Chains A and B, each alone.
Chain A
Amino acid sequence: MTAEPVTTWRTYPFTRTSPTEPPPELAEVRRAEPVAKVRLWDGSTAWLATRYEDVQRTLKDPKISSDTTRPGFPQASATAAEFRKGQRVFVRMDAPKHDEHRLMLTADFTVKHVRDYRPYLDAMIDELFDAMEAKQAAGGAVDMVEDFALIVPSRVITRLLDLPSEDSEFFLDRVKTSMSLDSTPEQAAQSGADTLAYFARTIDERSTGDGQDLISRLVRDRVITGQLTSEELQHMLHLVLVGGFDTTANMIALGTLVFLQHPDQIALLRERQDLVPNAVEELLRYLSVAHHVAYRQAKEDTRIADQPVASGDSVIAPLIAANHDPEAFPDPERFDITRDARGHVAFGYGIHQCLGQALARVELQAVFCKLFERFPHLALAAPADTLRFRNSIIYGVEALPVTL
């Protein structure tokens, strides 16, 4: 009997050493071994692609699956595994079923359709800014997360789904628990179950009548017709919720922090409002908040660059690695709102590229058009090293105390 050689691979995910920059190990691995083998939380191994080109090709490869029901499908942690295992929605499916389901939602997320939210967003942002000013004037401490970043996307999603606005607290809490790598698997499962039950009730309520909201239309056009089960629709709505909440909230909060770290970029943004859309793309690239997504499994033999990948092998193609590849974005650690960042993959790539990306863009553009105009002296109210960052599937900051 021969002993298996002991091989130590790097453990993935890698650790950040600075809050708004990618883990330095990604750059090391990209230089040394662009397709590397890493070890995950459960001892299993996976191929890690770190080059922009390889990440794009991998996410577009039809031989590479997103179906988490496949045995041995990799995950970032036990909780992530629990969360993903429970998902029965197109983000975890392959074509053709994926496409069939996704396309049931896409009419409501077109670029033109979501741009209609801009006036609503502008009014909301002004109102929230007024409230923040009043809070500070009354001696209160303003927190960009609690007082602004969490509220904007939660109101947009509740409006999009035509849900009672008082329910957004409930969602905020459940999404946070479901997505946190620090929740226990049981907590994550319970939060998921609570949200699904909420949507089950809403679906029932909207089975009669002729509501023109998204949920009513889906119930009439897809559930009653038998194309979707109520359970499948619950999962779809949960995805829309999860996809649109803390992603955008974290981009608002972290984006504010990044700008505060680069006052020259604030000055430039204020001088050149026309740079707002580009600045948003650069924030998306630079931050790549969806840092624990893009876990896949090969369902046929394939390759990543020169590396053969066997059917059944786990594959990880981190968006943050692609977005910081110097081959794609020279001097990638430099935050520069004038650079051409439009080719970033912060929203992913391939058939699963974010359904809500146009909506995210509208929200972020509305925010960053107004933020430094209204508050040109915005500053951190706590030392940067006291900030606490979220260990979650989507990266974020727990709180961002500011003075206006």
Chain B
Amino acid sequence: MVNTNEEGQLMGTKKITVFSERCIAAGNCYEIAPKYFDQDPEDGTVLRLRADAEAGDESLVARAAATCPVAAIELAE
């Protein structure tokens, strides 16, 4: 049985937000965290694969967010 908070977010995880309108398909996020991000075959822009960063993956997702050249990825505090 999984624990979720009021927003339906899994406990011990952090929410990932993607602003795909900013995306210019650099692909750094896919390269760094392919478990969480992919590139749309149509135009290479970001596809978010999971809504939350699992416990232990925060720094990986944070790194993907930091290397995004247009700040299209945010990891909740």
Binding site for B on A (CB under 8 A): 59-60, 99, 102-103, 106-107, 109-112, 342-343, 348-351, 353-354, 357-358
Given contacts A103-B45, A106-B43, contact A351 B69 (CB under 8 A): yes
A109 touches B44 (CB 8 A): yes
Residues of A within 8 A of B39 (CB): 110-112
Chain B positions 19 through 42: 1 when the CB is less than 8 Å from some CB of chain A, otherwise 0: 000001111001110000001011
B33-77 contacts to A, CB under 8 A, are 39, 41-45, 63, 66-67, 69-71
B25 touches A103 (CB 8 A): yes
State the CA gap A340–B8 with chains docked (Å).
36
B27 touches A110 (CB 8 A): yes
Residues of A within 8 A of B27 (CB): 109-111, 357-358
**Chain B proximity of A24: nearest CB distance (Å):** 28
B45 touches A353 (CB 8 A): no
What are 13 A-B contacts with C-beta separation under 8 Å?
A: A59-B69, A99-B24, A103-B44, A106-B25, A106-B43, A111-B30, A111-B39, A342-B32, A343-B66, A350-B70, A351-B69, A353-B24, A353-B70
- Give the residue of A106, A109, A111, A350 whose beta carbon is less than 8 angstroms from that of B69: A350
Residues of B within 8 A of A103 (CB): 24-25, 43-45
B66 touches A110 (CB 8 A): no
B31 touches A358 (CB 8 A): yes
Interface contacts beyond A99-B24, A343-B67: sample of 4 additional A-B pairs, CB < 8 Å, sorted by A:
A106-B25, A106-B45, A110-B27, A349-B69
B24 touches A351 (CB 8 A): yes
A102 touches B24 (CB 8 A): yes
Residues of A within 8 A of B67 (CB): 342-343
State the CA gap A335–B68 with chains docked (Å).
25
Residues of A within 8 A of B30 (CB): 110-112
Given contacts A106-B43, A107-B44, A350-B70, contact A357 B63 (CB under 8 A): no
B31 touches A351 (CB 8 A): no
Given contacts A110-B39, A110-B44, A111-B39, contact A348 B69 (CB under 8 A): yes
State the CA gap A304–B14 with chains docked (Å).
32
**Chain A proximity of B34: nearest CB distance (Å):** 9
**Chain A proximity of B41: nearest CB distance (Å):** 6
- Is chain A's interface secondary structure helix, strand, loop, or mixed overall? helix
CB closest residue in chain A, given B29: A111
State the CA gap A102–B43 with chains docked (Å).
9
Residues of A within 8 A of B70 (CB): 60, 350-351, 353
Given contacts A60-B70, A342-B67, A343-B67, contact A107 B42 (CB under 8 A): yes
**Chain B proximity of A240: nearest CB distance (Å):** 15
**Chain A proximity of B72: nearest CB distance (Å):** 11
**Chain B proximity of A115: nearest CB distance (Å):** 10
Chain A CB within 10 A, most for which of B27, B42, B67: B27
**Chain B proximity of A206: nearest CB distance (Å):** 21
State the CA gap A348–B42 with chains docked (Å).
24
Given contacts A99-B24, A102-B24, contact A110 B69 (CB under 8 A): no
Residues of A within 8 A of B41 (CB): 107, 110
B24 touches A106 (CB 8 A): yes
**Chain B proximity of A61: nearest CB distance (Å):** 11
CB closest residue in chain B, given A112: B39
**Chain B proximity of A366: nearest CB distance (Å):** 16
Residues of B within 8 A of A102 (CB): 24-25
Residues of B within 8 A of A349 (CB): 69
State the CA gap A133–B39 with chains docked (Å).
40
- Give the residue of A99, A342, A353 whose beta carbon is less than 8 angstroms from that of B26: A353
Instruction: Rank and list the top 4 A-B pairs by shortest CB-CB distance, nearest first.
Output: A106-B25, A106-B44, A353-B69, A111-B27
B43 touches A60 (CB 8 A): no
**Chain A proximity of B25: nearest CB distance (Å):** 4
CB closest residue in chain A, given B38: A112
State the CA gap A59–B30 with chains docked (Å).
22
CB closest residue in chain B, given A115: B31
CB closest residue in chain A, given B63: A342
**Chain A proximity of B57: nearest CB distance (Å):** 17
**Chain A proximity of B11: nearest CB distance (Å):** 30
Chain A CB within 10 A, most for which of B25, B41, B63: B25
**Chain A proximity of B75: nearest CB distance (Å):** 16
**Chain A proximity of B31: nearest CB distance (Å):** 5
Chain B CB within 10 A, most for which of A109, A111, A343, A350: A111
